[in-house]
Amino acid sequence: MFPDDDHIDDHLREECGVFGVFGCLAASKLCFLGLYALQHRGQEGAGIVSSDRSTFYVVRDEGLVSDVFNPENLAYLKGDSAIGHVRYSTTGSNNVNNIQPLYAKTSFGKLAVAHNGNLTNAYSIYSKLKTQGALFQSTIDSEVVLHMVSRSTETSFLKALQTSLSQIDGAFSMVFLCEDKLVAARDTFGFRPLVLGRLGKGFVVASETCALDLIGATYEREIEPGEIVIITAAEGVQSYKIPRQSRRAFCVFEHVYFSRADSVVFGDSVHLVRKEFGKVLAKEYPVEADLVMSIPDSGNSAALGYAEASGIPYEIGMTRNQYVGRTFIQPQQQIRDLGVKIKLNPITSVLKGKRVIVIDDSLVRGTTSKQRVSAIRKAGAKEIHMLISSPPITDPCHFGIDTPHRDKLIAAQKSIEEIRKHIGADSLGYLSIEGMLSAVKTHLPEHFCTGCFTGNYPLKVRNKGKHSFEGEKIKLYGKKN
Amino acid sequence: MFPDDDHIDDHLREECGVFGVFGCLAASKLCFLGLYALQHRGQEGAGIVSSDRSTFYVVRDEGLVSDVFNPENLAYLKGDSAIGHVRYSTTGSNNVNNIQPLYAKTSFGKLAVAHNGNLTNAYSIYSKLKTQGALFQSTIDSEVVLHMVSRSTETSFLKALQTSLSQIDGAFSMVFLCEDKLVAARDTFGFRPLVLGRLGKGFVVASETCALDLIGATYEREIEPGEIVIITAAEGVQSYKIPRQSRRAFCVFEHVYFSRADSVVFGDSVHLVRKEFGKVLAKEYPVEADLVMSIPDSGNSAALGYAEASGIPYEIGMTRNQYVGRTFIQPQQQIRDLGVKIKLNPITSVLKGKRVIVIDDSLVRGTTSKQRVSAIRKAGAKEIHMLISSPPITDPCHFGIDTPHRDKLIAAQKSIEEIRKHIGADSLGYLSIEGMLSAVKTHLPEHFCTGCFTGNYPLKVRNKGKHSFEGEKIKLYGKKN
Amino acid sequence: MFPDDDHIDDHLREECGVFGVFGCLAASKLCFLGLYALQHRGQEGAGIVSSDRSTFYVVRDEGLVSDVFNPENLAYLKGDSAIGHVRYSTTGSNNVNNIQPLYAKTSFGKLAVAHNGNLTNAYSIYSKLKTQGALFQSTIDSEVVLHMVSRSTETSFLKALQTSLSQIDGAFSMVFLCEDKLVAARDTFGFRPLVLGRLGKGFVVASETCALDLIGATYEREIEPGEIVIITAAEGVQSYKIPRQSRRAFCVFEHVYFSRADSVVFGDSVHLVRKEFGKVLAKEYPVEADLVMSIPDSGNSAALGYAEASGIPYEIGMTRNQYVGRTFIQPQQQIRDLGVKIKLNPITSVLKGKRVIVIDDSLVRGTTSKQRVSAIRKAGAKEIHMLISSPPITDPCHFGIDTPHRDKLIAAQKSIEEIRKHIGADSLGYLSIEGMLSAVKTHLPEHFCTGCFTGNYPLKVRNKGKHSFEGEKIKLYGKKN
Amino acid sequence: MFPDDDHIDDHLREECGVFGVFGCLAASKLCFLGLYALQHRGQEGAGIVSSDRSTFYVVRDEGLVSDVFNPENLAYLKGDSAIGHVRYSTTGSNNVNNIQPLYAKTSFGKLAVAHNGNLTNAYSIYSKLKTQGALFQSTIDSEVVLHMVSRSTETSFLKALQTSLSQIDGAFSMVFLCEDKLVAARDTFGFRPLVLGRLGKGFVVASETCALDLIGATYEREIEPGEIVIITAAEGVQSYKIPRQSRRAFCVFEHVYFSRADSVVFGDSVHLVRKEFGKVLAKEYPVEADLVMSIPDSGNSAALGYAEASGIPYEIGMTRNQYVGRTFIQPQQQIRDLGVKIKLNPITSVLKGKRVIVIDDSLVRGTTSKQRVSAIRKAGAKEIHMLISSPPITDPCHFGIDTPHRDKLIAAQKSIEEIRKHIGADSLGYLSIEGMLSAVKTHLPEHFCTGCFTGNYPLKVRNKGKHSFEGEKIKLYGKKN
């Protein structure tokens, strides 16, 4: 995308998506497709490790899934099992070394891992291991898990894994590849989603159900919080526990923005949850207007819900350039400000002279909202009522989302009225926390983590932050440097 | 996209988009942005020729606009005027030589041209010119225009152009770059759109208004059918005529599918015309159903119109993978049939047990409709009513659209009932020709060409077809070979 | 090579090498090999046009032969006949448009041409043709020939060619590809070499015999000055004349530097002629010394001749880094001056305390000689006697060699004693013109052009120079821009 | 080079070259130049790790030095110290993971290593370390050294290194980069060369002196067998010992073929040693002949020596195509056998009717000698006497040279008379072992390893061979896969 991406897309970023397949012909191709469907969870890098039971094959690089993989390197990835990863990363720590899956030859044989989440005590474990002589290659928190397992005095891999994972704090939905098995594990809080599916006689693990849909796999169930699933040729799926207690803390932002609308996440249809957000918003913020429009595409579901609940007609007030992708080059400093326009163009014939309700899914820094309100106004809208289908974001996430510094979180700095003025809308409303949680059906409101809206985290965080690891940097030159 | 593209996108293809800018700093960057906004009109190749009044600079290649251009080659394209082109082309004739703009040193100095449309008597002119010793480089019909102008015995460029263009049959919206001027010309039928805009003290010409919007240019007016516009530094815009009579014949398919919903084409908002298609369709085909959904994104406007007119709720029944682009590689033959799924995924929670009206903009070969109906059915829809917001396509276009052979046009081969069975829908309806033309406001119904729906063409066609030129092929190796 | 190439290689540059093959399986692969063997005649760009009798296939790009061609594009170049070209060009006029072979559809069908030499009246012909409406694509002088042939009123291709070539002044060794024949033509002066060979039942034409050797073709004979050879399937080789009289004027610099030592050129072994240069030099400049060394590899033959004639031992005083190629990047301004060293390293153990005769083939600007003398001195040589196995270069070439401006020709600016001081040698000697011409056996001394040493040209030159053409530039973006 | 390289270059392959620089501006550029000069020691991959005292920067890739590095990635390699490596590797084990320098964060901070040689007990150390939980990334023997140092219970880095290196068997000339120092170490046998130089106030370490020459560094001395040199900003060069006893065993093949002729290796000028090989050969194998020629360029020095000692004239009987490089593509199976010709072309005018002595440096499989004898014969030579300036190669090397399997070593399979017949020469002679060792001046004959000629190794070898490591393969996709 843009060098300065915030100017066209002001969203929080997920850090990863994971996928695994076991016991299927052309495993790496299925894995490629799974990652393709999970591309929205990470656009900075992608990797697959496959196994033909004796050799591991590795392809990892910076870029989109369709840039990293090609028929030649997919053919190189032999075998009937594979795990894959898509990665989002802030610029600072970007580095080919840090593209997952990680892999090594360990005391339990070859082992690879793909991880979605963030380990909050990884740095202290890392420091201890290094003192003991462990060699570290990356600055990824997940690398400590490989060391812990390899150095474990337990004699079985399962035991080594249980012991290691019980000592790790934070969020992890992980997929491991061993020479003869696929292993999936999810932290006891259940921060990040992870689902299990079947494809013929084989098995599939993925961050979201949309990845199962694409390859024609059937959805079996969620991997439970605190569960370790081991899949082998001989015994199929076997389930174990991470020996540790905690409350549940599903990330509600998966419903707000991260997950794809066509996925089922934490048991609920993402689209229907978002539509319900819109309906609740219509009750919380009734506005007299001529039309309801969304900021496409992430605001579509909620806008439709708002229109349905309010009776105000749903309209297409902006269209999206379907060719805008990561590769867009902003050609020159002086032709700036086209940031918003390159992606979204308002339709004057729809907006002229109208009182408009604009639904957006979230508002992080406020950078693009201002430009969008201005564009809609220039297209002739008489009144602009901006409604956000989630609460104000005031606090950082420590569990796998890359939140900007509090200084840049507009709702941590300004009152709602100040934000309204800043973006230039005639009115501004946010969905309430209670309203948001009321929209979810399968789980109880208290089973969700709302840390980024409230500062109340389900776990005390000792880690200094994402980059504390990088004190002793080794930087590997990559495509994007 | 897919090697066998029809499996994910069964649409007619436009052959080109053109853009020109005169008297603006960083002309080539503006031209790049203009082409970026016109990308939907041609994805196979792109080119820009710029002029600094003494030298012409050329960049042309196969691929998307964002693939062809980069900061380095945009910097190479010096000067304050430039013309550009995006090209669609069927595989057979693809060839780097055939990427526009064409250019040459002529008796009137350096001259470049970008052309949208199709010249139906180009082959006979070509044959005559070649016998006279003219050297031909490409198999593009537009090359004859350069020769005709250069060999003209007229002493002024305008006269040479007027004489040449009056002898050419067919569709052309052309932009010429001379050392000291920009020239835009449109055939007397007005088949393809062409608009004039202003940017500061400079001028812009483009196939659609969305390209003006992106660079912040203001829309002035359409270039009229039969008009030649000459833009110079000294005298600004001057208007002349092509000395030839004909009726008007605007291409209605620009409203059906080609143009972007946010453009104003032939004086009407494309989105509103499409919405009106949906409203008329609701009158022509009332159906009892639980929801109206579109095949995104091209069916969105009409679906909204249908919902509004019928009172049946508009829903999002399918989502679009926003990362699907030209570069997708189908990894393996056996994992086929994911064609449709890679682009669109149905939302089970919306469709389950529902009677569904599905609105699509057109139906060409019927290949993807069948797969989509099947996918919607698998997602649990109880009834599927497919409504097409345009009439059945029965005949080829000779004026700049690449229609498949009549054998592959499903409506030329089968009755509507047979098509319904083929695609597996519970009912199938098409918008009538009268209904379609009633949706357009600015021009009279009889001012449109409906040749692809009726076989009635505004002009007798002598040319054998797009490839008649290629009897004497010279094929230049390019990226995609 | 180096951005500033003169610092490692101070030589005159040939502008081209040509190759053609007719009636052989895998013609384009043979053509590739032929160009590979002729790489020393042009390193800036390369191209092949092949014909399968109905279609022409074209691959042309900037770079070395091994960069431009690959198995994929060689497979693209179908057919049993092909012509190819390697190009040297000064930076100024470098441009993808100018890479040969040129090709067009003409009144005689498809036609391509590859040209070694320089046409001295091309600009006036070009101007006239352009006024008549001809479209020009390149700034290559050779393009006029295609136009002249295509516009000829003669009814046979042979007649058209004879008439056209008789009107052209200057140097040309040309290979033409038609749909059904290969044609080779050489100007009446015979400036540039051109030889005919046989390969099985097919025929081969090349600038030098080393290209025949590589593909295993047998050397038949030179194409004679003023000869047109037409090769067809039906009639094999047929010989015709260009109807024009002139004296012979073989380029003696082919023996001095351009041609490969293993080629036979103008009937003589290049190695033996160069060795003879050394022997004559030993007579003209006897020196008392401990050893004779060459600047490798171009001075090797003459140094051996000098050693043989003088009885002073031949030694290897410098070695050549065999990995130095075009792609070397000079990493940083401050680490400059390694120019000479990157290519050649003196051997201290050989040179220490010795009186050394250094033989170089020519001395153009004097830039590298100075550095080399200095490097040899630093390695411990007591005396350095630099002997050049050709006369001082004082005048420009108009017949296909890129000579630097007279200001930069050191022998046009300084006396021999001044040059000696400039380069820092203890003595300096040049081979005399008579001595040089006495070394050639097959042709008479007066049959050679010695223009660059004497300013006496065999032809009055009306053209302003290489770039006169480029008044009306169209510049096509290429790899190296 | 060629897919099947043996057909154009039948030589043993060195496995590596190393280079290090400390305390110099633009350290990575100097390192790049050093590797450029050492390119002949490894053409498969190259890498540099630089340090700015706080961060390590890494660039590694497959290919030649000039392919791997470019101005952009050299700029990325910040800092005033750097180490680099060029790698040769057989196809089987090629793998991006295996490109050096290796690096990791260790208990002594960041550490990188570049290694020339082969560790013969690495596999048993590796197995033990893995059982203890160490994670392995590569299949390079050198990785064990990083683990041993990091896990050492010694408190100083020097002690940890001394202990670790004393436990390692085999050949190693290693350069280590730490955050604040450069370390060079050489095994107690001294198999591979390693020299120390000065550049301004900084220090340089390199496999050969030619790398010092290129960057203008002055040669100080060899790193002694069994020496550890530590270079810091505060204390400059400090020398320590590896606590282990052994005899000296310099690799004589460095003089036969590996090192560059312009290098000083083990104290002797390589060119002069090779020339002496030729002189001894003239005594051991006097032949009546008309001329002495070499297989260029590796046979040049010995051929000159033979000519000098015998009084038979030295001639250039073959020329080398200076553009043959790694990138040559053999275009088609049927145009095979041009293997030899693409690189070397005989000069008929020199060879016709002559009795020829041909000097080659070594004869490994005999594949190319046969083709060369045949080519010289076709060029007209009356008698061909092939003399090899080294003894017959009969045994594998375990100390850093990639010898083909004994089945392919022609001298292990056939008598000299059989080899003569095989290659088609009129006579064949090899230099004797005593003759070879007599040519070396600085060290005693018994201080050399002659294992590949005799099977007598200075060390018992327990390792199964180069690939024993690769039992548990992890293969990383790279450029050349």
Beta pairing partners, D173: D116, D186
Q: Which CATH class is domain C269-320+329-454?
A: alpha beta
**Interface touch A341/B214, C-beta < 8 Å:** yes
Q: Which chains touch A (3 or more CB pairs under 8 A)?
A: B, D
- Measure the CA–CA gap between B34 and A435, rounded to whole angstroms: 43
Q: Which of A70, A331, A347 sits opposite B29 (nearest CB)?
A: A331
**How many residues are recorded in chain B?**
481
Residue whose tokens read 């969700």: A448
What's residue C475's pLDDT? Answer: 74
State the nearest Cα–Cα gap between D51 and chain A, in angstroms.
9
- pLDDT for residue D173: 97
Count of H-run helices and E-run strands, chain A: 17, 26
* pLDDT score recorded for residue D90: 46
The size of the B-C interface in CB pairs under 8 A is 119
Q: How far apart are the first and last CA of chain A?
A: 15
Indicate if the pLDDT at residue B476 is higher than 90. no
CA distance D97 to chain A (A): 10
> Chain A residues with CB inside 8 Å of B36's CB?
321, 323, 328, 342
Question: In the predicted model, what is the mean pLDDT of residues B429-458?
Answer: 97
pLDDT for A469 equals 55
Contact criterion met (CB below 8 Å) for A100 and A142: yes
As a whole number of angstroms, the distance between CA D359 and CA D367 comes to 16
CA distance C71 to chain D (A): 6
Q: What is the pLDDT of residues B63-84, one digit of tens each?
A: 889 889 988 899 999 999 999 9
Within an 8 Å CB–CB cutoff, is residue D336 touching chain C? no
Name which of C32, C297, C325 is nearest D331 (Cβ-Cβ): C32
Cross-chain residue pair C135–B132, CB shorter than 8 Å: no
Residue of chain C whose Cα is closest to the Cα of B137? C104
Rounded to the nearest angstrom, the minimum Cα separation between D348 and chain C is 8
Give the confidence band of B419 by pLDDT, cuts at 50, 70, 90.
Answer: very high
Q: What is the pLDDT of residues A295-352, one digit of tens each?
A: 999 999 999 999 999 999 999 999 988 777 544 444 544 444 565 677 899 999 999 9
- Residue C358: beta bridge partners? C293, C386
State the Cα–Cα distance between residues A111 and A471, nearest whole angstrom.
26
Q: Do B335 and A26 touch (CB under 8 A)?
A: yes
Cβ contact C–A (≥3 pairs, < 8 Å): no
| A290 shares contact with chain B (CB less than 8 Å) | no
For residue B153, the distance in angstroms to the closest alpha carbon of chain C comes to 9
Shortest Cα distance, chain B CAs vs residue A189, angstroms? 26
Percent of chain C with pLDDT over 70: 89
Higher pLDDT pick, B311 / C477? B311
Binned at pLDDT 50, 70 and 90, residue B10 comes out as confident
B460 against C195, higher pLDDT: C195
Query: What residues of C are in contact with residue B474 (Cβ under 8 Å)?
Result: 55-58, 103-105, 110
First to last CA, chain B: 15
The reported pLDDT for the residue numbered D3 is 32
* pLDDT at position A470: 52
Interval C101-130 mean pLDDT: 94
Report the mean per-residue pLDDT for chain A. 90
Quick check: A134 and D132 CB within 8 A?
A: no
Quick check: A405 and A46 in contact, CB under 8 A?
no
> What share of chain A in percent tops pLDDT 90?
76
Nearest to D472 among A110, A137, A151 (CB): A110
Q: Does domain D269-454 have CATH number 2.170.130.10?
A: no
Query: Residues B234, B247: contact at Cβ < 8 Å?
Result: no
Cβ contact A348–B308 (<8 Å):
no
Q: Please, which pLDDT band fits residue A3 given cuts at 50, 70 and 90?
A: very low
Contact: A323, B40; criterion CB under 8 Å: yes
* Residue numbers in B near A347 (CB within 8 A): 261-262, 269, 271
Using CA atoms, how far residue B167 sits from B122, B145, B163, B164, B242, in Å, is 10, 10, 7, 5, 10
Task: Pick the closest to residue B141 from B160, B115, B173 (CA basis).
Answer: B115
Q: pLDDT tens across A255-285, in order?
A: 999 999 999 999 999 999 999 999 999 999 9
Of the pLDDT bands very low, low, confident and very high (cuts 50, 70, 90), residue A471 is low
Q: What is the rounded distance in angstroms from the CA atom of residue C16 to the CA atom of residue D171?
A: 50
C5-246+468-472 and C269-320+329-454: same fold?
no
pTM for the full model? 0.89
Neighboring chain B residues of A71 at a CB cutoff of 8 Å: 329, 331
**Yes or no, beta carbons of B321 and A36 under 8 Å apart:** yes
Which of C64, C255, C335 is best to mutate for the D interface (most D CBs within 10 A)?
A: C335
Measured distance CA(D116)–CA(A10) in Å, rounded: 51
Nearest to B475 among C56, C133, C475 (CB): C56
Q: What are phi and psi of B312, to 5 degrees?
A: -80, 135
* Yes or no, beta carbons of D135 and A473 under 8 Å apart: no
Superfamily of domain D5-249+468-472: Aminohydrolase, N-terminal nucleophile (Ntn) domain (3.60.20.10)
Residue C431 has pLDDT above 60, yes or no: yes
Element (H, E) at C29: helix C27-37
Tell me which residues of chain C, numbers 80 to 109, contact chain D at a CB-CB cutoff of 8 Å.
none
Chain-centre distance for alpha carbon D380: 36
Q: Does A335 touch chain B (CB under 8 A)?
A: yes
Average pLDDT over residues A287-295: 97
Nearest CA in chain A to B317: A262
Chains D and B touch (3+ CB pairs under 8 A): no
- Cβ-Cβ contacts under 8 Å, B65 against chain A: 323
Beta-carbon separation of B70 and A329 below 8 A = yes
Segment A84-107 mean pLDDT = 77
Q: Which CATH architecture has domain B5-246+468-472?
A: 4-Layer Sandwich (3.60)
Q: Do B213 and A341 touch (CB under 8 A)?
A: yes
The model's pLDDT over D218-246, given as tens digits with 9 standing for 90+, comes to 999 999 999 999 999 999 999 999 999 99
Which of D72, D74, D105 to mutate to probe the A interface, most A CBs <10 Å?
D105
- Options 1.20.1250.20, 1.20.1640.10, 3.40.50.2020, 3.90.180.10; which CATH number does A268-444 get? 3.40.50.2020
Q: Does D74 touch chain A (CB under 8 A)?
A: no
Phi, psi of A240 (to 5 degrees): -135, 175
CB distance B328 to B307 below 8 Å? no
B42 or D331: whose pLDDT is higher?
A: B42
- pLDDT for A401: 87
* Tokens describing residue C448: 């050679």
B268-448, which class in CATH? alpha beta
Q: With contacts defined as CB-CB under 8 Å, which chain C residues touch D314? A: 304, 314
Closest residue by Cα to residue A301 from A389, A207, A433: A389
The DSSP output letter for C136 is B
Average pLDDT over residues C434-451: 96
Q: Map out the domains of chain B as residue ranges.
A: 5-246+468-472, 268-448
Res. D5: pLDDT tops 60: no
D152 has a chain A CB within 8 A of its CB: yes
* Contact indicator for B285, B426 with CB cutoff of 8 Å: no
**What ipTM was estimated for this complex?**
0.91
Interface test with A, best of B335, B344, B442 (most A CBs within 10 A): B335
Give the bridge partners for A115, in sequence order.
A174
- Tell me the nearest-neighbour CA distance from C312 into chain D, angstroms: 11
Q: Give the three-state DSSP class for C401.
A: strand
Question: What's the pLDDT at C15?
Answer: 74
Identify which of C287, C308, C317, C316 has the alpha carbon closest to the alpha carbon of residue C428.
Answer: C287
Q: State the smallest CA–CA distance between residue C324 and chain D in angstroms.
A: 9
Average pLDDT score, chain B: 90
Catalytic residue annotation of B: 16
For residue C333, name the pLDDT band (cuts at 50, 70, 90). Answer: very low
Among D residues 348-407, those touching chain C with beta carbons less than 8 Å apart: 348-350
Gyration radius (Cα) of chain D, Å: 23
Chains C and D touch (3+ CB pairs under 8 A): yes
